[in-house]
Structure 1
Amino acid sequence: MNAQTQRLAVMAAVLVAIAIGFHVLTGSFLTAENLYNIAQQTAVVGIVASGMALIIVARQIDLAVGSLLGAVGVLMAWLQYTQGWSVGASLLAGLAFALVAGMFQGWLSAVIGIPSFVVTLGGLVSFRGAAFLIADGKTQPVTEPWLLALGGGLDGSLGERGSWLLGVALVAVLWGWQVTQRRAQLRAGGVPGDAKHELIKSGLAALAVFGSVAVFNAYKIEGMEQGQGLPLPLVIWVAVVLVLGFIAKHTRFGRYVYAIGGNPDAARLAGIPVRRVLIQLNLLLAALVALAAVVAMARLNAGTNSMGTGMELTVIAAAVIGGVSLAGGSGSVGGTVLGALIIQSIDSGLLLTDVSIGWRMVVLGQVLVAAVVFDRVVQK
């Protein structure tokens, strides 16, 4: 078991301990309803954190993701409600706005050479201002049923049958990919991993998937005969993590990102187009922010200028807690899932124990500090 796997195992154990501890204190933390709500609430942060992981791996940072999410969400809602645009056109406009913002920030950082911290710090303030200017500070409601379903709620889930079908399909894909990788290693003359270890990993993956499906199917809204099943925000989040995880591990672009994070100068001398890769990374994160803005807007049934406030720190904390090193060059997209769930579980548990918002902010801030300290200890 390598260091990265060991760190993820520790984080998984921490998550389990947090859940059990809060359930002992409240008696309601591990209920199907609360776990369903945590999954929905974590999805927006998780989607952005998966992209932030690659940004940090490449020794960059983005402090503007929360403000950009707010600006994009308000823009899409404003175009629908005030300007009368169709839903599809407004979503494309929001995506275009995010991509232009990502291109601009990436160009300033990668080409002009301004540190990403400074560039995105300016973006944090500017995009929040843009969120106010777009709709004059007014909340913009959205009413399209299929769009609202993307945020979860009564109609925003797959239901029991759909959830089981997706769970079986996901496990089949994970197992099939593992077998394919093992055969590829054998054909290449490499030494595959220990078969017993891989079987344990496969079993744990299946247990996690089917266990999640069973829990979410057990959550029934009053008056409904069937369980809710997997919420759509969670499905979107899982899809994003799987796609980005594949890109990070099995594509040239992913190898370039890790090479740049390990040593940017050596990567440049090796012929890696560092500037282009960094701009592409910013565009990828911008697209994920636009997707997260759609989910957040659907959850709120509106676009507000306060969407995403303070989210940048939560996203960075989720990536660091999930094993991404602030020094760059190491970490995984999958680890952000654990990081995001740990943060949301702590917040939800403190809320259930009637801890005030002030103390919750204090605790979550110190969780970020603890994650950085843990990262430094691991590096040493």
Structure 2
Amino acid sequence: MVLMAGVLVVITVIFNVLSDGIFFSAENLYNIAQQTAVVGILATIMVLIIVARHIDLSVGSVMGFVGVLIAYLMYTSNWGWPAACLAGLAAAIAVAMYQGALTAYVGVPSFVVTLGGLMSFRGAAYLVADGKTQPISDPFFLKLGGGFNGGIGTTASWILGAVICLGVVNAMLSKRRAKKAYDVPTNPLVMDVLLALIPIIIVMGFVAVMNAYQIPGKDDAQGIPIPVLIWGAVAMFMAFLVKRTRFGRYVFAMGGNPDAAALVGIPVKRVTMLLFLLLAVLTTIAAIVAISRLNAGTNSLGNSAELLVIAATVIGGTALAGGSGTIMGSVLGALIMQCIDSGMLLLDVSIGTRYVIIGQVLIAAVVFDVAYRKWTGDVL
């Protein structure tokens, strides 16, 4: 985690130097924040999918299918956005039950099932609207994508930042109290305060940057984009699920040793199904954010998204062999991927070269993961 954070810092500094300071501009950082949200949302659940020794190659196609369906219902069928979103969720759940059942109960490898899904649901995204773009005009729905009115404003951003900082301080104090209650040695108070200052500085710095960006022609600054809030809420929920629930422990036990997990009574098949259903929910959320940001649903929505999501997950430290990974790692991985892509765009790197570099970054991350595990003796 520390190394990945260092890599992120180095990447951003290099791109800022090469772009003559444009990379660290408030506008570019705001765009990076909102653009990362879709991949970041999907990466949080992909962590658990890969930890459990599965993979989903169809996540981009399913997101495109669900997104186009929602946009089609809103534009062509004149549905309200709540009903359209619920219909999209129902479609995503149907897909998850189909692919999850084949994986969990029939025993077909998830790689094969979702590879077929990658092609099938890309076709379904085209068939839903006959390949036609479905524009979206609902003012409230468009806010979810972080566009012109897609920020929460400066005052709300500062308040939210202060609340998060208070939460960090409270968590630090609660941890110290819990250790003392059970006679567990604690760090010196100064050290814990310094450690708590790191996320506080990051949060307040982020809020300051978001509040510094103002769209030309608009009276107020943007503040924190709504897609980032959605991503943050999803990441917090997933982190809670991993650390505080039986389901999260079951997933990691399955990834560590599926046979042993079954022998000790863990319902492996049911947990696998629940994983795919959770993926359906987050895929729907990502689709909503994506079509809101683009102001339309198109059959090309989500193209190659599965590769970016898997790359972000692996770069964030999730082992492809399963058994280990963190939600915070997926956040860092998504940021690294987006910073690399945005930096190359600023430098006017061709799309072909960008794909080559991103692919090699993924390979380098896997090589590093394998080398690190061999060095530490944690070979899976």
Aligned to 1:332: 326
C-alpha distance 196-252 of structure 1, shift in aligned 2 (>3 A): farther
Aligned to 2:244: 250
| Pair 1:15 & 2:5 matched | no
Q: Which runs of structure 2 are paired with 1:1-380 in the superposition (5 Å)? A: 8-27=1-20, 28-188=22-182, 190-191=184-185, 197-380=191-374
Q: State the Cα deviation string for residues 147-167 of structure 1 (Å, max 9, x = none).
A: 000001110001100101111
d(CA) in 1 for partners of 2:261, 2:158: 44
d(CA) in 1 for partners of 2:262, 2:185: 31
d(CA) in 1 for partners of 2:89, 2:244: 26
C-alpha distance 129-11 of structure 1, shift in aligned 2 (>3 A): same
**RMSD of aligned residue pairs (Cα, Å):** 1.4
d(CA) in 2 for partners of 1:268, 1:194: 43
d(CA) in 1 for partners of 2:264, 2:138: 50
In structure 2, list runs of 5 or more residues that go unmatched.
375-380
C-alpha distance 58-191 of structure 1, shift in aligned 2 (>3 A): farther
C-alpha distance 158-77 of structure 1, shift in aligned 2 (>3 A): same
Q: Tell me the secondary structure at the aligned position of residue 150 of structure 2.
A: coil
C-alpha distance 66-189 of structure 1, shift in aligned 2 (>3 A): same
d(CA) in 2 for partners of 1:106, 1:193: 45
d(CA) in 1 for partners of 2:80, 2:168: 38
Report the alpha carbon displacement of residue 227 of structure 1 after superposing the two structures with TM: 1.7
d(CA) in 1 for partners of 2:244, 2:38: 25
* Structure 1 letter corresponding to 2:134: Q
* Structure 2 letter corresponding to 1:18: I
d(CA) in 1 for partners of 2:33, 2:27: 10
Report the alpha carbon displacement of residue 80 of structure 1 after superposing the two structures with TM: 1.1
Q: State the Cα deviation string for residues 286-314 of structure 1 (Å, max 9, x = none).
A: 11010000000001111111000001010
* Structure 2 letter corresponding to 1:24: V
Report the alpha carbon displacement of residue 337 of structure 1 after superposing the two structures with TM: 1.0
* Structure 1 letter corresponding to 2:41: I
Q: State the Cα deviation string for residues 71-109 of structure 1 (Å, max 9, x = none).
A: 000000111111121111100000111111112111111
C-alpha distance 115-366 of structure 1, shift in aligned 2 (>3 A): same
Report the alpha carbon displacement of residue 180 of structure 1 after superposing the two structures with TM: 2.9
Q: Tell me the secondary structure at the aligned position of residue 334 of structure 1.
A: helix
* Structure 1 letter corresponding to 2:268: V
C-alpha distance 331-96 of structure 1, shift in aligned 2 (>3 A): same
d(CA) in 2 for partners of 1:66, 1:91: 17
Report the alpha carbon displacement of residue 142 of structure 1 after superposing the two structures with TM: 1.1
Once the two structures are aligned, what percentage of the paired residues are identical? 57
d(CA) in 1 for partners of 2:372, 2:296: 42
Report the alpha carbon displacement of residue 188 of structure 1 after superposing the two structures with TM: 4.5
Aligned to 1:3: none
Q: State the Cα deviation string for residues 264-323 of structure 1 (Å, max 9, x = none).
A: 111111111111111111111111010000000001111111000001010001011111
In structure 1, list runs of 5 or more residues that go unmatched.
1-7
* Structure 2 letter corresponding to 1:239: A
d(CA) in 2 for partners of 1:133, 1:109: 26
d(CA) in 2 for partners of 1:210, 1:80: 38
Aligned to 2:377: none
TM-score normalised per structure 1: 0.95
d(CA) in 2 for partners of 1:103, 1:68: 13
Which 4+ stretches in 1 moved above 6 angstroms? Answer: none
d(CA) in 1 for partners of 2:127, 2:262: 41
* Structure 2 letter corresponding to 1:143: S
C-alpha distance 64-149 of structure 1, shift in aligned 2 (>3 A): same
d(CA) in 1 for partners of 2:82, 2:296: 16
C-alpha distance 227-312 of structure 1, shift in aligned 2 (>3 A): same
